[in-house]
Amino acid sequence: MNFPMLSQFNPETGEVEGTAPKIRFLDNLKGYFLDQAAYQKALQTGNPPVYSVTSVEPAQGDGQLHYGLGRLMPGKIGREYYFTAGHLHAFRPAAEFYIGLTGEGLMLLQHEITGETLVFPLRANLVVYVPGYTAHRTVNCGTTPLSYLGVYPAQAGHDYGMIAEKNFNKVVLEINGQPVVMDRQEALKLN
């Protein structure tokens, strides 16, 4: 038992003591947002951090676990709320529990093969189960940072390729002040 076994996280700042976060800025999300013109315009006024992920990986191997602390800022590009790029697990059967901590958001889940999409709320005291073979993205529909823990098998790994290429079938837009989940193709007609 010679590896770090205790970690302390701060859901407000998104920091895990002694661990460097990976920060994703707006320009890291090129091609992901529905409204490309609004995206380009936003980048002209700055390149804010959109989200951070801090990973805690005590050990490797079968039966071991890792977790990440995610913190997604509030914001929109056009009508579309800020989101994380989203990913599949490299080890496809690997599931993940998302445990909401602060803020108000949604999770988009999309099965890799069938394309079936499910949407769940994410906030304090809610736990969302992401099964294997399922791409997942968090969306901040609130006005404060959305933070959460994600716990996953150590062998899960991350595969960003499919989403980077095809994106999610669904988008989450603010319409009349409320988050609305729409088919991407339908939403493109709004712009």
Residues of the shown chain interacting with a copy of itself in the complex, contacts defined by CB under 8 A: 1, 3-11, 56, 58-59, 61-65, 67, 89, 91-97, 99, 109, 111, 116, 118, 120-121, 125-132, 134, 149, 151-156
CB of 82 to a copy of itself, least distance (A): 22
Question: Which DSSP letter does residue 44 get?
Answer: H
Please, which residue, 43 or 118, has the CB nearer to a copy of itself?
118
Whole-number minimum distance, CB 10 to a copy of itself, in Å? 7
Sign of the Cα torsion 159, 84, 153, 120 reads: negative
- Considering the complex, state which of residue 83 and residue 98 has its C-beta at the smaller distance from a copy of itself: 98
Tokens of residue 183, six digits: 């088919």
**Strands of 96-102's sheet, edge to edge?**
22-25, 49-56, 65-72, 146-153, 96-102
CB of 29 to a copy of itself, least distance (A): 26
- From residue 4, alpha-carbon distances to 68, 70, 112, 148 in Å are 15, 20, 34, 21
| Cβ distance to a copy of itself smaller for residue 99 or 162 | 99
Instruction: Rank residues 47 and 60 by Cβ distance to a copy of itself and give the closer one.
Output: 60
Residues in contact with 161: Cβ distance below 8 Å, sequence separation at least 6, in sequence order = none
Rounded to the nearest whole angstrom, what is the least distance from the CB of residue 171 to a copy of itself in the complex? 20
